[in-house]
Structures are given as C-alpha cells and as structure tokens.
C-alpha cells in the first residue's frame, strides 16, 4: 500500500478518490501547461541546483531538529523533538514552496505573480521570493485576516507586494483563493498563480507537496543521526495541508511511524465555530478539487472559525483525505484554548514562541507525549514562529500593554 502512496497522485491528479481538476474550461489548458512545465524541469540538474542553492542561502536550510529537553522532563513521557521550520527566512515553512514555484514561474516566462494568503505567511514568502527575482507580486487576503494579521500585511507591502483585501464571504482564506483564481483566469497570458498550500486543482497539491518534502527528508536523516532510529509518532498542524504532508511524506512507507495531523477545533465543534474538516465535514467538490469540506446539508460551504488564520479554511488538501480514508494518518483537532496553552508552554519551557497554527500541533503533541513511555520519540513540526500572533495572544489572554 505505502509504495503506491508515495507515488500518488495518478496521472489524472487523484489520490485515491480525492483530488482531480474541477475548474472552468478556461483553466484546463493553463493547468495542463503548468503540469507539463513542472514535469519538464523538476528533475533536471540545473533546476535542482538552483533550488538547492536558494534553499540553503536564501531560506536558511537545513533547519535544525531540536530536542526539547525541558518540555520532555515536564511532560514526563516520550522524548520531544521539534523540526524548526520557524527558523526559515520569513518565519514559516511556506517559503520552501514559494522559492520552488518562483523558479517554475520564471521557467514558464511569467513575470507577474499572484497569490492568496490566510495568516499572511504564504503572502510574505511569495512577496520575498518575487522581490528576489525582480517580479511583480499581488497578494489576495481576506479582509478579516488582514485585520488580525496586520504585521504580515505591512511586511508584504515592505517587500514590494500589492495586498488586495477580499470582503466577500467570510473574508478569509477561501475567499482569497477564489479571488486569486478569478485574477488568474483573466490574466493568464502573463500571470503565474503561486498557490500556497497542498490544495486546489491538479497539479497544485502535488507541486506544493513536492517542494515541502524537504522537511521530512531532513527530519528523517536528523533523527537517525540523533537517535539512530525513526520516531514513533510525527505530528503537524493541518490547514490546507502543506506542512503536514511535507513532514509526513518521507515516513509514509514506515508503517511503525504513526502520523497525526491536528486541525483547528475553534471554540466548539458546531457549524461555523471550527475548521475541523475531518470531524465535521464530508466529501465534496471545492476550489478545484474533490476533498473533505465543511458544508451544510444542501452543500453550501460553511463558515469556519479559528484563533489561527492559517488553519481557518473549509477545505483540505486531497492527499490528506486519502490518507484519512486509508487510515494511514490520524486527523484530530484541538480547541483555541488548548492551542493557547501550547503556545505559552513552548515559550516558557524552551524559549521559543510558536505560530498559533503550530501551537495546535504543540498542544496535541505535549498531551500525547505524556501518554507515551519514556523510551518513545515524538517529532512535532514547528511550522512557523509566533511574532505575527502576539497581538491576538495578548487579546486572548487579556494582557494589558
Ligand atoms: C505557520 C503556519 N503553519 C501552518 C499553516 C497552515 O498551512 P498548511 O496546512 O498548508 O501547512 C500556516 C498557514 O498560513 C502557517 O502560517
């Protein structure tokens, strides 16, 4: 089973029954062109050398694998290791994909980059990559997300990007994706849509996954050096699914390594109050793909809610829907309140301030480590750092300036 899992998607872009390409006619040929361009360059030495050079010197890879010694002692169970994607340039894993796709854009002769963003991390990463390449960049962002992630809006603008607020729907990530797709359809001749998570129509879930596989490949080698064995469990937070699939992919063949993704449980698992697609959603077609979607009985997309903008999305990458269906990975959620506790614990015990997204993985990871025996190892993907979230946390904790 696992051998085939690592080889997915199939030639039509399906991970089992999920994925595919559900788009208007006008996007069929551009997506096919993107697929051809990617296939053409991805394994060439010239592309690989340039990508690896950027990952090393611009992004700052490889990122450390960090043994959280005090947290391990505090929780009293499994050894806790953190993969430090928070230490990458621009502060989150998103930059791995941004530099990969910007090279693809240049190869395709496109000089205008558009992107969507939720928490702003993908927007910042794309703006930075576009600045480096001397390309123009426009980022669509839900108006609600612009309010709660103001520092990232300013960072994108400093990096030369135009940030366009989207007022429709819930004014969050799904609305930004829709707006970016509309722009792409209109300006296809000179525009590259640099999609920010492992979702959307084929080939995006595959391309974004491929550019994040470096997380798991490094972590696997690093844990072998540190412990001379693989971890017992790998944990990541789950928005669209890119950091999770990035760290999971290298371990898919290792049946003894449990894989756990953590969704946003918001305030409660009731329509409109969370973003746990695998706890409240069902299969449907959404933003170009077949996947798990939060929807009403009539198929209307539900509003979502989470303290973390990056997890606040009604759909999820199709590769995860397949891994869930096959039982190869587990999909759980934690509530906002638990994520806030995870956020504070990591700061207190290790001197690291995580992103609120990553704090969901921390919250579950710490609870799980406590249940595991001391000879076990748990590896948590620390997808990003928390500078962007300080005002949200101050408000949530009712801290006065
Ligand atoms: C730090 C961080 N982690 C995780 C995510 C969630 O995205 P994904 O599931 O694609 O990794 C985001 C999204 O903005 C993010 O900024």
Q: Is the previous residue joined to 203 through a cis bond, with omega within 30 degrees of 0? A: yes
- Rounded to 5 degrees, φ, ψ at 36 are -65, -45
Q: Could you report the per-residue pLDDT of 109-161, keeping only the tens digit for each?
A: 999 999 999 989 999 999 999 999 999 999 999 999 999 899 999 999 999 99
Digit-coded pLDDT (tens) for 313-357: 999 999 999 999 999 999 999 999 999 999 999 999 999 999 999
Query: Ligand 1 atom closest to Cα of 241?
Result: 9
Centre of ligand 1 from the C-alpha of residue 256, in Å:
26
Query: Which ligand 1 atom lies nearest to the CA of residue 85?
Result: 1
pLDDT value at residue 401 = 55
Ligand 1 and 358: CB distance under 6 A: yes
CB of residue 173 inside a 6 A radius of ligand 1: no
Residue 198 CA: nearest ligand 1 atom is 10
Return the pLDDT at 4.
81
Element (H, E) at 219: helix 204-227
CA atoms within 13 A on the CB side of 174: 22
Q: Where does the pLDDT of residue 400 fall: very low under 50, low under 70, confident under 90, or very high at 90 and above?
A: low
119 lines ligand 1 (CB under 6 A): yes
pLDDT on residue 169 = 87
Contact indicator for 65, 81 with CB cutoff of 8 Å: yes
Cβ(77) to ligand 1 under 6 A? no
**Residue 310 CA, ligand 1 centroid: distance in Å:** 5
Average pLDDT, the chain: 97
Residue-wise pLDDT for 250-294, tens only, equals 999 999 999 999 999 999 999 999 999 999 999 999 999 999 999
Name the closest-CA residue to atom 7, ligand 1: 239
Ligand 1 atom 4, closest CA: 357
Cβ count within 10 A of residue 49: 10
- For the chain, the domains span 21-55+94-205, 60-91+212-396
Examine the pLDDT at 229 and tell me if it is beyond 60. Answer: yes
Instruction: Provide the CATH number for the domain formed by 21-55+94-205 in this structure.
Output: 3.40.50.1100
Residues noted as catalytic? 94, 116, 383
Whether residue 237 has its Cβ less than 6 Å from ligand 1: yes
**If one looks up domain 60-91+212-396 in CATH, what number appears?**
3.40.50.1100
Q: Is the CB of 152 under 6 A from ligand 1?
A: no
387-390, Cβ contacts within 8 angstroms, sequence gap of 24 or more: 387/91, 387/151, 387/353, 388/91, 388/119, 388/120, 388/121, 388/149, 388/151, 388/152, 388/355, 389/308, 389/343, 389/355, 389/356, 390/353
Ligand 1 test: best mutation among 85, 207, 365, 383, most atoms within 8 Å of CB? 383
Ligand 1 center to 381 CA (angstroms): 11
Out of 357, 359, 392, mutate this one to test ligand 1's pocket (max ligand atoms within 8 Å of CB): namely 357
Nearest in space to 245 (alpha carbons), one of 61, 18, 27, 12: 18
pTM for this model (two decimals): 0.97
- 2 has a pLDDT exceeding 70: no
Q: Is the CB of 359 under 6 A from ligand 1?
A: no
- Report the alpha-carbon distance of residue 79 to residue 320 in Å, rounded: 26
Which atom of ligand 1 is least distant from the CA of 355?
1
pLDDT per position as a tens digit, 171-210: 999 999 999 999 999 999 999 999 999 999 999 999 999 9
Tell me, in angstroms, the distance from the centre of ligand 1 to residue 320's CA.
15
How confident is residue 3, by pLDDT bands cut at 50, 70 and 90?
low
Q: Is the CB of 8 under 6 A from ligand 1?
A: no
Q: Is the CB of 118 under 6 A from ligand 1?
A: yes
Q: Ligand 1 centre from 383 Cα, in Å?
A: 7
- pLDDT beyond 70 at 45: yes
Residues of the chain with pLDDT > 70, as a percent, come to: 99
Listed residue (272, 283, 277) closest to 261, CA to CA? 277
Query: How many angstroms separate the alpha carbon of residue 169 from the centre of ligand 1?
Result: 21
Instruction: Please check whether the two domains, 21-55+94-205 and 60-91+212-396, share a CATH topology.
Output: yes
State the distance from the centre of ligand 1 to the C-alpha of 196, rounded, in angstroms: 9
């Amino acid at each position: 089973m696992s051998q085939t899992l690592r080889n997915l998607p199939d030639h039509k872009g399906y991970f089992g029954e999920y994925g595919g390409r559900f788009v208007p006619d006008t996007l069929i040929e551009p997506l096919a062109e993107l697929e051809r361009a990617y296939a053409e360059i991805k394994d060439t030495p010239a592309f690989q050398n340039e990508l690896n050079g950027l990952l090393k010197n611009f992004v700052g890879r490889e990122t450390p694998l960090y043994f959280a010694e005090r947290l391990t002692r505090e929780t009293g169970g499994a050894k806790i290791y953190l993969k430090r994607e928070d230490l990458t340039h621009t502060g989150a894993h998103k930059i791995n994909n941004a530099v990969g796709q910007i090279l693809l854009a240049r190869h395709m002769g496109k000089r205008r980059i558009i992107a969507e963003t939720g928490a702003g991390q993908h927007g910042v990463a794309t703006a930075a990559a576009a600045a480096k390449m001397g390309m123009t960049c426009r980022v669509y962002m839900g108006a609600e997300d612009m309010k709660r992630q103001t520092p990232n809006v300013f960072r994108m603008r400093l990096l030369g990007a135009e940030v366009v607020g989207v007022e429709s729907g819930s004014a969050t990530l799904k609305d930004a994706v829709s707006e970016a797709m509309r722009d792409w359809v209109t300006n296809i001749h000179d525009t590259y849509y640099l999609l920010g998570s492992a979702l959307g129509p084929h080939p995006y879930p595959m391309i974004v996954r491929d550019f994040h596989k470096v997380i798991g490949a490094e972590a696997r080698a690093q844990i072998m050096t540190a412990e001379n064995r693989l971890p017992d469990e790998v944990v990541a937070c789950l928005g669209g699914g890119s950091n999770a699939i990035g760290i999971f992919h290298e371990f898919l063949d290792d049946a003894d390594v449990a894989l756990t993704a953590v969704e946003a449980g918001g305030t409660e698992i009731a329509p409109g109050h969370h973003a746990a697609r695998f706890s409240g959603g069902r299969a449907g077609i959404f933003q170009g793909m077949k996947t798990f979607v939060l929807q009403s009985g009539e198929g209307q997309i539900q509003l979502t809610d989470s303290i973390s903008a990056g997890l606040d999305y009604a759909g999820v990458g199709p590769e995860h829907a397949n891994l869930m269906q096959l039982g190869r990975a587990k999909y759980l959620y934690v509530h906002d309140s638990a994520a806030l506790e995870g956020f504070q614990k990591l700061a207190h015990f290790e001197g690291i301030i995580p992103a609120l997204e990553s704090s969901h993985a921390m919250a579950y990871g710490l609870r799980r480590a406590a249940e595991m025996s001391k000879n076990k190892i748990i590896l948590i993907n620390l997808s990003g750092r928390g500078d962007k979230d300080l005002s949200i946390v101050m408000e949530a904790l009712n801290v006065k300036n």
